[in-house]
């Protein structure tokens, strides 16, 4: 390098002087002291490795992907020609103004109907003439006139029977103020009258109870406007009611336990008296047999009669606070046994009665009375069968005690149980004669 500088007549850098220190410094290795960053206490090693690396670079702010990945995607270039696209016009069949729009489509595609036009569902709202209105629709002239009714059906066609929007867009300046309930009541009234007059039984006739809807919204408003103090007071009353019901159940349980103890004590006393009487009056076998024969058999009639008197279903009266369904009134009480419930279900099937009728107030009361009468009918059938069995057993006992004699039971005491068909025939006959039907007539 020094020779090149001499040939080109360039300045040469000054040569350093050779000293003892310079010669010794060449042989020493220069070590740079690296500053090690200590890991803070409590930090995991993996988390610290994410923050700092060997080069003491700062952590990245955004995730980077500099690798080539497992497999790089390659463009698939073929020798086919590119399909041609064009800016084509189209129309929407759902629009009635004939507007023309444009969109991109392939030139090879056949023209098709706009695909989103199928979502434009139109409601079939009937119309009426002046003759129809004068003949059938003049029901309440004080509340609704013909211009108001025409405006109502015009809004129904424009807004697809969305009554909230119809009430908002109602022209109050020309047609007065109307609520949502008023619009619903008038609309469904006109629809029902037109369906009846035009004879369209396939369409369901809707009835709207405006007064019930107004009361319901008023009650909801009162429920919503309660103060926190009123809500707390109602909750306190509900808690007190639960405590009263719990005390009542506890009192009934204690009463039942006491009655069981009394009945057990009476039974033990009766058994002791019977043993004493049997021990003091022991005689010969013949006299004992005569006494046994003379003693009356324990009859089941009394127990059956008491069961019939207490027959029937006592349905619970829903008087609790809060919202409840009317169908809960038709629910069988918990004290109805499984056998009685099955017998009741079988009786409903025999008489072809719907087990789940619509829960209207009158139907609920009548259906509960019907089921109570059905339970009474089952108890009467059981009592009748028991009485017939008692008569037959008494007849056989009499014939065994008096050989050669026959006990003639009066025909008025022998009653054959009727079948379901006979009961239904008797009910229809009773209706025709205007007589008292009894249980069969109720069914």
Cα angle 376, 377, 381; round to 5: 115
pLDDT beyond 80 at 9: no
* Residue-level pLDDT at 149: 92
Mean pLDDT of 94-109: 90
Cα-Cα-Cα-Cα dihedral sign, residues 366, 372, 378, 381: negative
Higher pLDDT, 332 or 229: 229
Is residue 373 within 8 Å of 338, Cβ to Cβ? no
Q: How confident is the model at residue 437 (pLDDT cuts 50, 70, 90)?
A: very low
Most confident of 23-27, 194-198, 320-324: 194-198
Q: Of 19-33, 120-134, 317-331, where does mean pLDDT reach its minimum?
A: 19-33
Helix (H) or strand (E) holding 381: helix 361-401
- Give bridge partners of residue 105 from the DSSP assignment: 86
What is the predicted pLDDT for the residue at 435? 38
Share of residues in the chain with pLDDT > 90 (%): 22
Closest C-alpha to 134, from 146, 149, 152, 126: 146
> For residues 91 and 100, is the Cβ–Cβ distance under 8 A?
yes
Cα-to-chain-centroid distance, residue 331: 16
C-alpha closest to that of 439 among 341, 332, 347, 338: 347
- pLDDT class for 1, splitting at 50, 70, 90? low
Encode pLDDT of 52-87 as tens digits: 665 666 666 666 665 555 566 666 666 678 889 999
Least confident range from 183-192, 242-251, 432-441: namely 432-441
């Amino acid at each position: 390098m020094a020779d090149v500088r001499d040939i080109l007549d360039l300045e040469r850098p000054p040569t350093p002087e050779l000293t003892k220190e310079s010669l010794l410094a060449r042989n020493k290795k220069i070590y740079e002291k690296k500053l090690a960053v200590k890991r803070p206490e409590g930090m995991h090693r993996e988390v610290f490795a994410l923050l700092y690396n060997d080069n003491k670079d700062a952590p990245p702010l955004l995730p980077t992907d500099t690798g080539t990945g497992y497999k790089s995607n390659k463009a698939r270039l073929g020798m086919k020609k590119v399909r041609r696209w064009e800016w084509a016009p189209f129309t929407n069949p759902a629009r009635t103004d004939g507007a023309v729009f444009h969109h991109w489509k392939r030139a090879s595609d056949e023209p098709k109907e706009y695909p989103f036009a199928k979502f434009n569902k139109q409601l079939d709202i009937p119309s009426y003439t002046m003759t129809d209105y004068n003949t059938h629709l003049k029901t309440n002239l004080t509340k609704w006139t013909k211009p108001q009714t025409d405006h109502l059906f015009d809004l129904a066609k424009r807004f697809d029977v969305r009554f909230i929007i119809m009430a908002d867009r109602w022209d109050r300046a020309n047609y007065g103020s109307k609520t949502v309930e008023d619009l619903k009541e008038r609309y469904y009234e006109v629809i029902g009258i037109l369906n009846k007059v035009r004879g369209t039984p396939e369409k369901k006739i809707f009835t709207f109870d405006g007064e019930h809807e107004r009361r319901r919204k008023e009650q909801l408003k009162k429920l919503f406007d309660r103060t926190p103090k009123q809500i707390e007071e109602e909750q306190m009353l509900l808690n007190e009611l639960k405590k009263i019901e719990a005390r009542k159940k506890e009192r009934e349980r204690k009463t039942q336990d006491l009655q069981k103890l009394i009945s057990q004590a009476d039974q033990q006393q009766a058994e002791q008296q019977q043993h004493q009487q049997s021990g003091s009056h022991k005689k010969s076998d013949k006299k004992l047999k005569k006494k046994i024969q003379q003693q009356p058999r324990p009859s089941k009639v009394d127990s059956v009669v008491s069961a019939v008197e207490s027959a029937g279903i006592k349905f619970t009266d829903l008087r609790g606070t809060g919202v409840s369904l009317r169908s809960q009134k038709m629910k069988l009480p918990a004290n109805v046994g499984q056998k009685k419930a099955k017998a009741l279900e079988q009786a409903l099937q025999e008489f072809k009665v719907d087990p789940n009728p619509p829960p209207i107030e009158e139907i609920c009361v009548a259906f509960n009375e019907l089921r109570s009468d059905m339970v009474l009918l089952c108890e009467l059938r059981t009592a009748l069968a028991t009485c017939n069995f008692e008569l037959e057993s008494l007849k056989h006992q009499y014939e065994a005690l008096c050989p050669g004699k026959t006990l003639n039971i009066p025909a008025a005491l022998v009653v054959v149980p009727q079948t379901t068909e006979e009961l239904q025939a008797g009910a229809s006959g009773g209706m025709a004669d205007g007589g008292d039907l009894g249980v069969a007539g109720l069914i």
